[in-house]
């Protein structure tokens, strides 16, 4: 087989020599034969003639020799390709339209595929990634909520001490920004805290040094750190003798014990790692840890999971008064192993698949368009192809020619598509990275190219095969050598009509989806903020610092910086709070002491510590009672503010079944005649102390961190004066959150952000303060995924709409051309021009109507699948459907009318004379 390939290639590459040698060989043959005949006594002339005659037809023999070398089919391919190019050159508009359409569709699909491939399809970049899992808590029987992959310290210790079949490691999913300084290098870096053995379990061998020992991973252990390769290069220029060097992290010296390899990536996107020091109290009292698991060699995943399940039963059997995932009845909980890949992508999988489906639909529409265009062209090629058939070309040869044309178009589209893909991918990456948290490296690599090629061939087949077969059929049926066929037989255009209907239906589906997503975004954006959003500036600074381990220095920092800020011109109010509206807040357990029917089990609420004046600075309405003031100091009685949602949920005196209330908030549970004033004067046990509720404030929009309430919702929230918190509490929460400074000004004076930054710097010059954000920015960040979805779906739907419009235009245009005689007859018989124009445009409109109706029906199941992404709007929202239908019909109307306007320029007399 290889020999034949080589032989063919040789003949192909050295074609002229092949031809020359073949000719020479046969001439030699003839010369020898001639000589022999002369030797037998024939005269020279006759010998020559006889030799030629006996040999047979020279050209036919040469053709057979070429075929013997496999050159026939490659010659045909080259010939067909040349023909295809010539055809395309003759209709440049068609060629450009086709290549542009294909380029756009193939390019977009390749770009999306690259992202989907990197995130969903490619295995994680660790050894044997299918044997990596995280320990997750699930409900039995299986509930519909996602498995909870955060565990607490007690769970970790249980697993660590008793799991024999797997290698386990604990880590914190919270990365934080901290200040890093090495000799001659200062930077804010991203830090992740992991337990001993973390890198071993992942299967990552540090390039230099090692991971953390159990000795280092216990409370009070030495301060060590592992750096990423890139940080090592940046800060130390890759100095090989790096082990044992010290760096300052949050102002504390740490010794470097390891450097990771250059190709290491993880979803934490960390620059360096420090020991987690997991414990059962403090951070470990809540579910703040992740537990990574890899079964030992020789143990199957099922065996390892069985052991984990058994330990889970142990864990939850004894957890009477311990924490568990918020607000779930404890009796049905258990542990499972969730594959690590699934755990890291579960949040984004749906969004990515939605994106992929949309872009595939656009490609489908593009192919449909092209098929329609090709079908339209085929009518004009009837004469040429019939001639070829008549000359004995053979149906197969014609089919091959048509398919070659399709392939040439498709390859042209693929080349354009690669350019588009490049651009689209970089845009897509920048959009997605900020919102869906894309940490995998994405680029156009071999897999993407292979995908492009496969897609190209598939599209060529999709849009080319049917028209080619149909063209062949027409060519055979029609006696096309005589004229162009008389009155147009519109019935033979039914494939093209069907395609247009299909196109319109698909576009309708895409438009409905986009419309719903856009309305979701609008709804979320216009949710009442609950606070005054004008003239507000916010910034945050990490207090995960050696100097702020206790309450007093923290409170001093706040008080002094606020004092300075309030003296700045234009500043009306200023305060500090741990979290802001539109953000994900701190989840904290609390209890209602005394005879409440919730019993001993703690509930979870969002908790923020604040300086006095926070409520006023944000302009949150005070509904009852009093706000916090300066007199709520460290020695005064412990007080707390709650918001309306909290009060209504927990203090509705008439509610018997408060456990149920734990799981339903806000709109689901709000009832107008609840007397939330019941809350004032009651006590809550929070962070170890009983605090009296002295006021009820309005709700603000937040990012919910449990349940399925959407990207923005009002959650039960409590506000604690920072002066009344403890050292342990503050240092605990500062491992996860950075406090925010809030400044309300009158108007927006220039230079205020700088002045505020200066004021804080005067209080503490080493504190790294983040850039300033206004409430609109915070809201934008919270709604980033929704905005991305709305944007992308609108983009795809827009492109699809354009393609459909082009398709309708093309169809009507060809129909008008074909029906020119018929329309001229109508005009001659006295029909008015406008009437005739309407008549000409009608097919397009009729098809559009059918397509819209079909699309509406198709959209119903599709939007139901979209439900996960919709908030504040029903999947079958009639307004959206109606708007899409009308809009689509309007576009179709224009697309049909424009080519129909040609009727206005018809000269019926001239046309009829021609017939």
Partner 1 sequence: MGDRRSTETTEQGSKERGSTDRPVELLQGTLDMLILKAASLGPEHGYGLLLRIEALSRSLLQVPQGSVYPALYRLEHQGLLTSEWGRSENRRKAKFYRLTAAGERRLHAETSHWERLSGAIGHVLAATPQEL
In the bound state with partner 1, the residue whose beta carbon lies nearer, of 28 and 874, is: 28
What are the residues whose beta carbons fall under 8 Å from the beta carbon of 747, sequence distance 6 or more?
535, 570
In the bound state with partner 1, the residue whose beta carbon lies nearer, of 7 and 487, is: 7
Least CB distance to partner 1 at residue 42 (A): 10
In the bound state with partner 1, the residue whose beta carbon lies nearer, of 70 and 749, is: 70
Least CB distance to partner 1 at residue 72 (A): 12
Count the site residues for partner 1 by CB under 8 A. 27
Q: Among the candidate windows 61-69, 175-183, 809-817, 892-900, which touches partner 1 by CB under 8 A?
A: 61-69
Applying CB under 8 A, among 4, 318, 473, 484 the residue interacting with partner 1 is 4
Q: Half-sphere exposure of residue 199, counting CA atoms within 13 Å on the CB side? A: 28
The answer to the question of residue 868 lying near partner 1 (CB under 8 A) is: no
In the bound state with partner 1, the residue whose beta carbon lies nearer, of 70 and 125, is: 70
Binding mask 83-102 for partner 1 (x = CB under 8 A): --------------------
In the bound state with partner 1, the residue whose beta carbon lies nearer, of 29 and 868, is: 29
In the bound state with partner 1, the residue whose beta carbon lies nearer, of 13 and 766, is: 13
| CA-atom Rg of the chain in angstroms | 38
The answer to the question of residue 55 lying near partner 1 (CB under 8 A) is: yes
Binding mask 499-518 for partner 1 (x = CB under 8 A): --------------------
**CA 287/CA 736 separation, integer angstroms:** 13
User: How far, CA to CA in Å, does 178 sit from each of 35, 83, 377, 524, 577?
Assistant: 98, 66, 65, 32, 19
User: How far, CA to CA in Å, does 583 sit from each of 63, 172, 707, 745, 777?
Assistant: 78, 20, 16, 22, 11
Applying CB under 8 A, among 9, 14, 32, 593 the residue interacting with partner 1 is 32
Least CB distance to partner 1 at residue 56 (A): 3
The answer to the question of residue 40 lying near partner 1 (CB under 8 A) is: yes
Strands (E) in 24-158, as ranges, are 133-139
**CA 681/CA 694 separation, integer angstroms:** 6
The answer to the question of residue 70 lying near partner 1 (CB under 8 A) is: yes
Angle between helices 92-116 and 340-380 in degrees, nearest 10: 170
The answer to the question of residue 67 lying near partner 1 (CB under 8 A) is: yes
Q: Among the candidate windows 63-71, 102-110, 298-306, 313-321, which touches partner 1 by CB under 8 A?
A: 63-71
Q: Please tell me whether residue 200 adopts helix, strand or coil conformation.
A: helix
Least CB distance to partner 1 at residue 31 (A): 8
Closest CA to 349 of 274, 287, 436, 421: 436
In the bound state with partner 1, the residue whose beta carbon lies nearer, of 21 and 675, is: 21
Applying CB under 8 A, among 7, 380, 596, 631 the residue interacting with partner 1 is 7
Please report which residue ranges of 651-783 form alpha helices under DSSP H: 658-663, 666-669, 727-733, 752-763, 775-782
The answer to the question of residue 552 lying near partner 1 (CB under 8 A) is: no
Joined tokens for residue 881: 């459907």
Element holding 291 (H helix, E strand) = strand 289-295
Least CB distance to partner 1 at residue 914 (A): 50
Least CB distance to partner 1 at residue 7 (A): 5
Burial label for 392, CB within 10 Å (0-12, 13-18, 19+), is exposed
Contact in structure between 110 and 423 (CB atoms under 8 Å): no
Q: Which residues pair with 805 in a beta bridge?
A: none
In the bound state with partner 1, the residue whose beta carbon lies nearer, of 64 and 130, is: 64
The answer to the question of residue 798 lying near partner 1 (CB under 8 A) is: no
Closest CA to 378 of 487, 457, 472: 472
Q: Among the candidate windows 59-67, 552-560, 738-746, 873-881, which touches partner 1 by CB under 8 A?
A: 59-67
Applying CB under 8 A, among 43, 57, 214, 394 the residue interacting with partner 1 is 57
What are the residues whose beta carbons fall under 8 Å from the beta carbon of 730, sequence distance 6 or more?
543, 548, 550, 551, 554, 609, 722
Q: Among the candidate windows 49-57, 419-427, 687-695, 769-777, which touches partner 1 by CB under 8 A?
A: 49-57
What are the residues whose beta carbons fall under 8 Å from the beta carbon of 32, sequence distance 6 or more?
none
Where in 98-137 is the site for partner 1 (CB under 8 A)?
none
Q: Among the candidate windows 64-72, 153-161, 657-665, 861-869, which touches partner 1 by CB under 8 A?
A: 64-72
In the bound state with partner 1, the residue whose beta carbon lies nearer, of 64 and 281, is: 64
In the bound state with partner 1, the residue whose beta carbon lies nearer, of 65 and 663, is: 65
Least CB distance to partner 1 at residue 50 (A): 9
Closest CA to 402 of 382, 416, 422, 427: 382
Q: Among the candidate windows 2-10, 553-561, 641-649, 812-820, which touches partner 1 by CB under 8 A?
A: 2-10
Applying CB under 8 A, among 69, 560, 591, 781 the residue interacting with partner 1 is 69
Element holding 335 (H helix, E strand) = strand 333-339
Least CB distance to partner 1 at residue 44 (A): 16
Q: Among the candidate windows 57-65, 293-301, 444-452, 492-500, which touches partner 1 by CB under 8 A?
A: 57-65
In the bound state with partner 1, the residue whose beta carbon lies nearer, of 22 and 83, is: 22
In the bound state with partner 1, the residue whose beta carbon lies nearer, of 60 and 910, is: 60
User: How far, CA to CA in Å, does 413 sit from each of 69, 366, 456, 791?
Assistant: 33, 11, 8, 25
In the bound state with partner 1, the residue whose beta carbon lies nearer, of 65 and 846, is: 65
**CA 648/CA 676 separation, integer angstroms:** 5
In the bound state with partner 1, the residue whose beta carbon lies nearer, of 21 and 907, is: 21
Using DSSP bridges, classify how beta strands 208-209 and 289-295 pair: parallel, antiparallel or unpaired: unpaired
In the bound state with partner 1, the residue whose beta carbon lies nearer, of 32 and 886, is: 32
Least CB distance to partner 1 at residue 79 (A): 21
Binding mask 843-862 for partner 1 (x = CB under 8 A): --------------------
Listing DSSP states for 556-620 in one string gives HHHHHHHHHHHTSTTEEEEEEES--TTSB-EEEEEE--SS-TTTT--EEEEEEEE-TTHHHHHTP
Using DSSP bridges, classify how beta strands 622-625 and 603-610 pair: parallel, antiparallel or unpaired: unpaired
**CA 462/CA 476 separation, integer angstroms:** 23
Exposure string of 842-860, with b = 16+ CB inside 10 Å and e = fewer, is: ebbbebbbbbbebbbeebe
Q: Which residues pair with 540 in a beta bridge?
A: 740
The values of phi and psi at residue 736, to 5°, are -110, -35
Applying CB under 8 A, among 15, 33, 383, 591 the residue interacting with partner 1 is 33
In the bound state with partner 1, the residue whose beta carbon lies nearer, of 71 and 168, is: 71
Longest CA span, the chain: 138
**CA 525/CA 540 separation, integer angstroms:** 23
Applying CB under 8 A, among 9, 20, 23, 64 the residue interacting with partner 1 is 64
In the bound state with partner 1, the residue whose beta carbon lies nearer, of 10 and 833, is: 10
The answer to the question of residue 46 lying near partner 1 (CB under 8 A) is: no
Burial label for 477, CB within 10 Å (0-12, 13-18, 19+), is exposed
Applying CB under 8 A, among 9, 14, 23, 68 the residue interacting with partner 1 is 68
The answer to the question of residue 9 lying near partner 1 (CB under 8 A) is: no
Element holding 849 (H helix, E strand) = helix 833-865
What distance lies between CA 614 and its chain's CA centroid?
A: 37
The answer to the question of residue 56 lying near partner 1 (CB under 8 A) is: yes
Where in 11-30 is the site for partner 1 (CB under 8 A)?
21-22, 24-26, 28-29
In the bound state with partner 1, the residue whose beta carbon lies nearer, of 54 and 552, is: 54
Tell me which residues touch partner 1 (CB under 8 A).
Answer: 3-4, 7-8, 21-22, 24-26, 28-29, 31-33, 40, 54-57, 60-61, 64-65, 67-70
């Amino acid at each position: 087989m290889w020999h034949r390939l080589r032989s063919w290639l040789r003949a192909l590459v050295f074609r002229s020599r092949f031809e020359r040698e073949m000719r020479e060989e046969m001439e030699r043959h003839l010369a020898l034969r001639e000589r022999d005949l002369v030797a037998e006594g024939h005269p020279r002339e006759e010998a020559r003639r006889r030799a030629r005659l006996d040999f047979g037809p020279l050209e036919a023999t040469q053709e057979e020799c070429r075929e013997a070398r496999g050159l026939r089919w490659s010659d045909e391919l080259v010939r067909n390709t040349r023909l295809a190019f010539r055809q395309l050159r003759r209709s440049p508009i068609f060629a450009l339209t086709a290549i542009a359409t294909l380029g756009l569709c193939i390019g977009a699909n390749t770009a999306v595929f690259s992202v989907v491939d990197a995130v969903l399809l490619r295995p994680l970049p660790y050894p044997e990634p299918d044997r990596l899992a995280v320990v997750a808590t699930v409900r039995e029987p299986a509930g519909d909520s996602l498995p909870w992959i955060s565990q607490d310290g007690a769970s970790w210790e249980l697993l660590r001490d008793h799991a024999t079949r797997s290698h386990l490691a604990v880590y914190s999913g919270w990365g934080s920004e901290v200040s890093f300084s090495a000799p001659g290098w200062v930077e804010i870096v991203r830090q992740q805290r992991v337990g001993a053995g973390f890198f071993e379990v992942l299967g990552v061998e540090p390039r230099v040094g090692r991971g953390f020992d159990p000795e280092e991973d216990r409370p009070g252990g030495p301060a060590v750190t592992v750096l990423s390769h890139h940080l090592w290069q940046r800060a130390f220029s890759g100095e090989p003798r790096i082990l044992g060097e010290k760096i300052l992290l949050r102002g504390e010296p740490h010794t470097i014990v390891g450097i990771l390899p250059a190709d290491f990536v993880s979803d934490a996107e960390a620059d360096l790692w420090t020991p987690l020091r997991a414990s059962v109290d403090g951070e470990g009292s809540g579910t703040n840890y992740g537990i990574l698991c890899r079964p030992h060699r020789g143990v199957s995943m099922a065996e390892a999971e069985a052991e984990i399940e058994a330990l889970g039963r142990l864990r939850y059997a004894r957890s009477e008064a311990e924490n568990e995932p918020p607000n779930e009845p404890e009796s049905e909980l258990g542990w499972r192993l969730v594959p690590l890949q699934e755990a890291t992508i579960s949040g984004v999988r749906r969004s990515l698949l939605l994106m992929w489906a949309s872009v595939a639909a656009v490609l489908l529409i593009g192919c449909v368009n092209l098929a329609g265009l090709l079908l339209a062209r085929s009518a004009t090629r009837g004469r040429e192809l019939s001639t070829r058939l008549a000359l004995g070309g053979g149906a197969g040869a014609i089919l091959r020619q048509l398919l070659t044309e399709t392939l040439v178009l498709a390859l042209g589209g693929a080349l354009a598509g690669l350019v588009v893909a490049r651009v689209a991918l970089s845009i897509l990456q920048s959009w997605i990275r900020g919102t869906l948290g894309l940490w995998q490296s994405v680029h156009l690599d071999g897999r993407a190219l292979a995908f492009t090629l496969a897609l190209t061939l598939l599209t060529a087949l999709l849009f080319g095969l049917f028209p080619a077969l149909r063209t062949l059929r027409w060519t055979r049926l029609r006696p096309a050598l005589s004229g162009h066929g008389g009155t147009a037989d519109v019935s033979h255009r039914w494939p093209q009509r069907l395609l247009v209907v299909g196109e319109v239906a698909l576009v309708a589906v895409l438009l409905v989806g986009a419309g719903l997503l856009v309305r979701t975004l609008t709804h979320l954006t216009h949710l009442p903020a609950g606070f005054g959003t004008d003239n507000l500036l916010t910034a945050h600074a990490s207090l995960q610092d050696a100097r702020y381990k206790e309450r007093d220095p923290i409170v001093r920092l706040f008080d002094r910086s606020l004092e300075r800020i309030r003296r700045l011109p234009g500043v009306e109010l200023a305060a500090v709070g741990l979290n802001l509206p539109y953000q994900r807040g701190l989840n904290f357990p609390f209890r209602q002491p005394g005879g409440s029917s919730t019993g001993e089990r703690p509930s979870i609420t969002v908790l923020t510590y604040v300086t006095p004046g926070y409520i006023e600075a944000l302009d949150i309405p005070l509904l009852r009672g009093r706000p916090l003031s300066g007199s709520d100091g460290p020695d005064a009685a412990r007080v707390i503010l709650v918001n309306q949602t909290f009060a209504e949920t927990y203090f509705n005196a008439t509610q018997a079944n408060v456990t149920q209330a734990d799981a339903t908030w806000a709109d689901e549970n709000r009832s107008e005649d609840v007397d939330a004033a019941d809350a004032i004067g009651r006590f809550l046990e929070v962070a170890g102390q009983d605090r009296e509720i002295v006021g009820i404030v309005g709700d603000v929009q937040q990012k919910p961190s449990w349940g399925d309430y959407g990207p923005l919702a009002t959650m039960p929230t409590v506000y604690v004066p920072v002066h009344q918190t403890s050292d342990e509490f503050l240092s605990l929460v500062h491992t996860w959150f950075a406090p925010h400074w809030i400044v309300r000004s009158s108007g927006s004076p220039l230079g205020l952000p700088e002045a505020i930054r200066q004021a804080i710097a005067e209080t503490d010059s080493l504190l790294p303060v983040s850039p300033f954000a206004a409430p609109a920015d915070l809201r934008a960040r919270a709604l980033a995924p929704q905005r991305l979805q709305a944007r992308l779906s609108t983009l795809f739907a827009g492109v699809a709409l354009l393609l459909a419009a082009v398709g309708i235009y093309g169809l009507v245009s060809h129909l008008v051309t074909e029906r020119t005689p018929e329309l001229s007859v109508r005009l001659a018989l006295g029909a008015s021009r406008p009437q005739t124009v309407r008549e000409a445009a009608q097919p397009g409109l009729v098809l559009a109507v059918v397509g819209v109706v079909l699309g509406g029906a198709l959209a119903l199941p599709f939007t139901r699948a979209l439900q996960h992404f919709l908030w504040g709007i029903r999947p079958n929202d009639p307004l959206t459907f109606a708007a899409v239908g009308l809009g689509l019909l309007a576009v179709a109307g224009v697309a049909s009318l424009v080519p129909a306007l040609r009727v206005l320029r018809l000269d019926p007399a001239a046309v009829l004379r021609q017939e």
